[in-house]
Structure 1
Amino acid sequence: MIDLTKEQLITFKEATRILPKRPNGRHLHVSAIYRWATKGTRGIVLESLRLGGRSYTTIQALERYGDRLASAGKESVSNTPRFRSRTREVQAREAAERVRQELGLHPPERTDCRAAPSLLHPIHDMHLTVQEKSAQVEAASQVDESTDGQQREARTA
């Protein structure tokens, strides 16, 4: 909490000049300070107040904000499991493919996502029953046949 009797107020613009420059040699943009004061970072919000239509913080509030971010960073690194989204995506696709093979279902050869998007993205259809899935496969094959026929007619015309 900002103590007005012990801390000197600075505007957000002044705060950008106090903080170290970025690697490109430029000062931090004032919108970053506003973001820290409103939304925060990793659940930690910069202490600030608004007086006379202007937003203020203090050097001490910036120090406290940095300290809380640093201590939260140490905790989150040790508690957060490390997953790679690509790895999880590949594992999910492989699991869906195994289920498809066990059920005797095969995705269509086409790559047009508009016809049967769930067939190309197995993660979205894990909740479907076998009957619903087979109905989707049948509908997709009918779409394939109708588009192939239309393409043949267009070529002959």
Structure 2
Amino acid sequence: MSAALIAEGPRPIAAVGRSNPATKNLNPRTLLRWAQRGVRGVKLESLQVGGRLMSTAAALDRFLAALNAGPEPAPSAPRSPAERRRASAAAGEELERLGV
């Protein structure tokens, strides 16, 4: 990952944020947080150069695209005891119908 960022020409993370119209008004600490902690499991690609955090415009574009790729499928809610009993009864009837 670092080699790809170096090839893309890294710049200080604040400068990367100012260069993108979608993020130009964000506080540089926001981009720092995106690189360190991430958002919904997605981190902004970055590298440390001489005590400064660096990234690229392409990395920021990939980060924003990953965040906006679409919602993750919602986990299904656990079935209630009544739903489990109905499903079990239906499965039992199906097995009897099949002669199993």
Query: Which residue is equivalent to 2:30?
Result: 32
Query: Which residue is equivalent to 1:44?
Result: 42
Asked if 1:8 is matched to 2:6, the reply is: no
Tell me the SS of whatever aligns to 2:17: helix
Q: Which 5+ residue runs of structure 1 have no aligned equivalent?
A: 82-157
Q: Residue type matched to 2:28 in 1?
A: V
Q: Residue type matched to 2:47 in 1?
A: L
CA gap of 1:38–1:5, structure 2 versus 1, over 3 A, is closer
Q: Which has the higher contact order (CA 8 A, sep 6+)?
A: 2
Identity of matched residues, %:
34
In the superposition, the TM-score normalised over structure 1's length comes to 0.43
In the superposition, the TM-score normalised over structure 2's length comes to 0.64
The number of residues matched between the two structures is 76
Aligned pairs for 1:142-157 (under 5 A) are: none
Structure whose residues are more often helix by fraction? 1
Q: Residue type matched to 2:74 in 1?
A: T
Aligned pairs for 1:1-157 (under 5 A) are: 1-2=1-2, 3-4=4-5, 6-20=7-21, 27-71=25-69, 74-76=70-72, 79-80=73-74
> 8 Å contact 1:37–1:46 — kept in the other structure?
yes
Q: Which 5+ residue runs of structure 2 have no aligned equivalent?
A: 76-100
